[in-house]
Amino acid sequence: MTETFDTPSRYFAYREGRLFVEEVDLQEIAEHYQTPTYVYSQAALLDALEGYRKGLEGIPHLIAYSVKANGNLALLRLLAEQGAGADLTSGGEMQLALRGGVPAERMVFSGVGKTDKEIRDALRAGVRMLNVESEPELETISAIAEDLGQPAPISIRVNPNIDAKTHPKITTGLKEHKFGVPWDQAVALYRRAAGLSWIQILGISAHIGSSLADTTPLLQTLDRLLELRDTLQKEGIPITTLDLGGGLGIRYDQESPDTPESYAAKIKERLRSAGVMLILEPGRSIVGNSAVLLCRVTYVKRSDDHTFVVVDAGMNDLARPAIYGAFHRIVPVSLAETETESVNVVGPICESSDVFGKQRVLPRCRRGDLLAICSAGAYGFSMASHYNGRVLPAEVLISRKIHRLVRKRETVEELWRHQIWE
């Protein structure tokens, strides 16, 4: 049974027929914190970060963790303590990162729609770099920098028109996408930036997509950034930083993506003599396989054609299967039951898309059984909602034998706390 119900991370494993996170039985977590609950492995999180660091050892670099993947303060603090920075897409994420202990000088602010307030706050905070995504944004940043009397450090995000070969909704590097500056307009925009007194050009940025199992498109993008750097250098525009973005995938099912260390080592080979600072913005590959969503079976509905296992987690807790049709392994917490059956694992939400997995082979489920939805650390809690009047789940962090609550489960009163109805 343990061979059948494997998990994508070695930090989640069966011991004597029970699923453990590091050295803690998930049954204990369910009894102590109830369900649904996100359960994180500290070791898995830090191991992924260390892989990047090992692969890039010997060249200047910054691992700017992508806060959008998961902004839990406890996780941010752990990463910050190990030297990680933060990739931001909003002012709210900047405040989370600051609160989590990430120094502003280790932050990169991305995003196509930065508001004037976000730009102003980022410059005042002293972020390392703003990734510019259009000419109007460049002009806005320049005007705000002049008003503050503070030069704005920037890179320009270019769109290399490279197909990431990933899900269409998370592909961002083709010319039809809203992200970045078209490749054939990049040099002209750099010339414009070089003529603005309150703009300080640091680098070139790109991000072509997310969840890539094959890193070839990422390495092709890096080669294009190096070509553009050479072109700009010849025009007298020095480039000291290359920001390759994120994108490395994780194992959800049978994929075999590069490990962070292997991918980073391939990058290092290309940059050994380049003399630039490298910035990477990994999110999913850091936190994705650090967590499961622990849930409990509420009902089992059997008919002639289908068996539905209804759990107490819903698409409001983990939206990826509903939005992307994403696959997440679903495994039992206990292997006591030896008879298996093919079932559809579904949530309680009033949408036909509230399905975590179809035709999954699981031990014959009964009301009260515990299931773990794997690979839930990235874009799980961060995309959760109150849809159907549901409160947000708890989050628990495990370090070896110790478990601690890092986010309380919401109460129903929080559903209307900010509303005005009188």
177 three-class SS: coil
| The one catalytic residue among 295, 350, 365, 374 | 350
Token reading at 327: 């696959």
State which H helix or E strand residue 282 sits in.
none
Token reading at 77: 């603090």
CA distance 124 to 122: 5
Torsion of CA 122, 276, 256, 65, to 10 degrees: -20
* Residue recorded with tokens 């049954």: 27
Could you list the beta-strand ranges (E) of 26-96.
37-41, 61-66, 85-88
Could you confirm whether 365 is annotated as catalytic?
no
Q: Which of 305, 325, 420, 326 is nearest to 378 (CA)?
A: 326
Torsion of CA 44, 48, 50, 51, to 10 degrees: 130
Q: Do residues 155 and 202 lie in contact, with contact meaning Cβ atoms separated by under 8 Å?
A: yes
Token reading at 421: 């109805």
Q: Give the residue numbers annotated as catalytic, written as ranges.
A: 350
